Every structure is written in C-alpha cells, then in structure tokens.
Chains A and B, each alone.
Chain A
Amino acid sequence: MSTAVVSPGESAQSAVTYLSKSGTSFDSRFTLKILRNLPTIRKQVDATNLATLIAEHYDETYAKTILDLANLNYSGEFGQSVPISPEVDAFLHLLVQVWAINEDGVDTEKLMRLGQLSVKHLADSYNRRSLDHFNSKIWFYYVRAAELSKNLFSRELYSEMMTAYRTACLRHDFETQSMLITLLLRVLIFTNQIGTASDLVAKTTFPEGNASNSLAARYHYYLSRINAVELDYGTAYEQITAAIRKSPHTPAATGFLQTANKLSVLIELLTGDIPARRAFGSREQPELIAPLQPYFALAKAVRAGDVNQFQNALKTHEAALKKDGNLALARRLRQNVIKTGIRVISLTYSKIPLKDICLKLCLDSEESAEYMVAKAIRDGVIDATINHQKGYMQSLDSSNVYASTDPQECFDERIKFCMSLHDDNVKSLRYLSSDLKDDLRDLQEAREREKELVSEMQDTSDLDDDDMDFDF
C-alpha cells in the first residue's frame, strides 16, 4: 500500500479486488497481508462505504440483517446476489465486525449476535484452509463482543466454542484451533474456573509450531496464570517468560506486555527472587513504569523483608491489584516477606537470639519466631540451626557456589538456548526461488517492498488493536 492519501473506502474496495484475485492461488500470504493491513483499512473506511460494500455483495435480506446488527444505515439500491469468492465473503464479515466494535454506540448485544452470525455463516458455507486466518479473527471478535456484553458465563457460548474447536481440530485448521484454545482459556480464567481451565490444558494440545506468535504468547500467558494459581511457580515463570519473548514489541501490544510484565514480576517475587530493577520499566520501556508502580512497591517491601511496609503497600494499591486480577496472588507474598526477613538476618548475624528476630520482624511472640525460623530452615531458605535451650539461632557457613557444578550447568543451559535460537532462525529463513536471474533483477524492487513492509509493520502488527485493553 502506498503512503499517498487514499480516499475513504478505496482501500477496502481495493482489498476486496485483491482478495478475489488471490482466491485462486491458495497462498496464505495474501490473506496475511490483508489482515496485517486490517487496522489501517478499518480506520479508512466509513459507514457509507462499508454499507455500500455490503449491499453490493449480498442479497437484500442478508445484507439488511448485517447492516442492522452493525448499526449501519443504507438507503441505496441493493445489488443482485452475485457469486462471491469465499475469501471476500469472510473478509467482509470480519471488516464489519472490526468496524462495529471500534465504533461508539453500537449495542454490544447486537455485536455479539453479529459475531455469532458470521461464525455460523462461515462454518456452514465453506471448508477452505485459505479462510483459516479470517475464521480465527472472526472468532476473536465474537468472543470479545460477548465479553463486552457480559455474556461470558453463558453455557451456549461455551458449547459453541467447544464444537468449533472440535471442527477446527478435524480440519487441521491450526489458526482457529489455537485461537479457540486461547479464547476458551480466557473465558474460563475470566469466570474463575481455574480447575476447568487446567483440565482443558491437560486435554488439548496447542499447535505450537503452527500457531502465530501473538496467539502463542497469549497461550503461554494463560498457562502461566493457571500454574501460578495452582502454586507451581517454577512452570508459571517459564511460561510467562516465553509469553513476553513471543509477544511482538510494538505499540499495539503494549497492553499485553504491561499485563504480562505485571504477572511476571509477581511470579518472580513468589518464587523468592527479587526482579531486576528494569523489569519495572526503564528508559527503553517507559510504558511499563506507571502500570507497574504497585508491583514496585510490593517488591520493595519484599526486598526489605518488612511485614508492615508490605501490608501498607498492599492496602494502598489494593484497587489496582484487584483490577489486574492479581490481588489473591499478591496476598500470598506475605510469607515471602517473612522469609526474606529471616534470610537477611541470617546473613547478617552468625548467631542471634530468637527474641531479637521476633523484634526485628515485628512478630507477636518468640514462640512464633522459633517455629518460623524452623520452617525457613526446612524450606531451605537459610542454612542454620536453632538452640532451643539457650534460645538462639546459629547460621552455618554458607557453601561456595563456585566450587560446585552450578555455574557450569547454568552456562551449559545458556549455550543450549543460544544454539537452539540459531537453529530456529536458520530453519525459518526464506530462500530465493530457483529463478535466480529474475530475482536479481527484481532485487531493487524487492528491497523497496521490504522497506515499505517494515514501515507498515511498525504501524500495525499481527497482534490486534484490541490487545491494547488486554486486561482483567
């Protein structure tokens, strides 16, 4: 697409023409290109153009249903029902959905019905792999509309999704399949059915190699959340790191990255580590600073091992944490605060009376302190022994990590990671076609196309606009 001024509607019209030509080629690259431009097309199209497009392509009854659901007015002539290519059909449905969801004043109930209609229409009419990407997006906007109209608890929606998921599996439609898994997880987590969500994960396989990165990022995010609730912090941390790495780092994905980073920080704290300072936003990622403020306060309290400071931070930021759906997780941090406190004491003093520990940690009784220290020793937080008769804790000499194989193992892990990264890159390279001469002639042209593509991708990305408000 050129950067010249495009009249409203023209881009949508040209996309339609482009699609109907590409329909025969069965190459997903064409659909992908259209999808990448979708946010731009959406912004350029206006109500009249969109209505005309619909009226041109569908017979009167069907066109009227769509127009009504999308809150569009149309006074012109309705065209004859012309044979329409499946790709164009899917694209128009998607465009109407995207347009309506971004427009103010469209009834959310209607939006949901529009989604339902589109999903049903596509499922009943076609079975073509070239539609997979459209199908998956249409599902996304359908469920998003259901969420906006507060219909996520509905059993019907759930069973519709399940049926569609089964169909997608049978058809090897990986795009829709992975979209539906993430959507199902979102619905389940949103309605707090963590148990069911973890069952779903156990019973399904996410098409990791075939799914798009943004979907994989979301999937890992949800997995991380499930694991964190079920106290498996190690796995949760791995998953959230994968989610952040897979997510595109473009402005469109800011919402997702903020949410993912919040969870990441919290999980890291729960595993007993203190996140690096730059995890809370830095000059490179200024968009993280404000949203992560509450988590920064919590981390500071955990790092200091100060129970009172922690309780205060929790109280001050309660509303924000609740909005993120992280309050319950944050509450669990209390024990980490105490453990850190004990660890700091154990590192500072080689021998200290239990009474002093009790005072330093603001605990109620010496007895509690004794049990807590004992528990910390058992959990491997500190290496010490307690002398009950004399009432003191004695720290043991800390062992020298560099004398063990730990550094070697860490190093080994990192090398392996770099190697596999290199291998993956090599595998996903695209090579020039055998017609080398033609390619060379087109090289200059191709370079320019590449430049355009890069500038386009900076504006948009394969992650949706709506990920801006990705939160709970």
Chain B
Amino acid sequence: MLRIDRSIYDKIVAHARRDHPDEACGIVAGPEGSDRPERFVEMINAERSPTFYRFDSREQLKVWREMDERDEEPVIIYHSHTATEAYPSRTDVSYASEPNAHYVLVSTRDPETVEFRSYRIVDGVVTEEPVEIVEQG
C-alpha cells in the first residue's frame, strides 16, 4: 500500500495537469527504508513528449546525489499518461529499476477526473496496490 499526504498527492496531480499534453515526471524522496514519501521533486521530462518521458540525465545525477547525502531514496517515482489509462505500459515496465519504489501513474486524459494509481514493478511483474491519502489535521 502507498500512504501519501494530501499535499504531496495534490502536487503530483497539479504537475501532471500543468505539463499536459506532455508527460510529466518526478519523484518523492523519503528516508531510506522508511517507505515515507516526504520530499517532492519535480523533474524535467527531457523528451518533452506526449507519449514518452525520460529524466534529464544531469538533473537525475544532481537529485540522486542529494538523496545520497540525505540518506534518502526515491520512495515514489511518478509520471503521467496524457491519453491513456494510468496503468504501466510495456516501456514503463522494461525501464522500471527500483524494486523498492512505488510507481505512481496519473492520467490526464479527462480534465475533470483524477486517475491516480500506484504499482510495484519487480522483475517485470506489475502489481497494483491501494493508495491511502492522509489528510493533514
């Protein structure tokens, strides 16, 4: 299961809407081993494409180093699909390389409806998991 604060959930959805019709992507970092997504990091889609995304390699190095220094890991890796459902594509699965991460997919195909789903992708096997949104008091 993915537990995520409302404020971070809203930031991911807002990023996906803002970059539509291109795919948006980013991560949410958290302390290593904690499974707590805490630090939202929007990434550049180096492809600037409605059908593909790829983290800019220099920006990725910078962000991964920051995580290293803070003893963090990417708890969530998110991206959007702009015309199809929020389900990992074959390309998504072939690139998935963080067995501990929650892969979040947001679809922006319908401007009125939020589709926000989370998956584990391990050795090419996709498993959907429930998303619990934690409302802050």
Genuine A/B complex: no
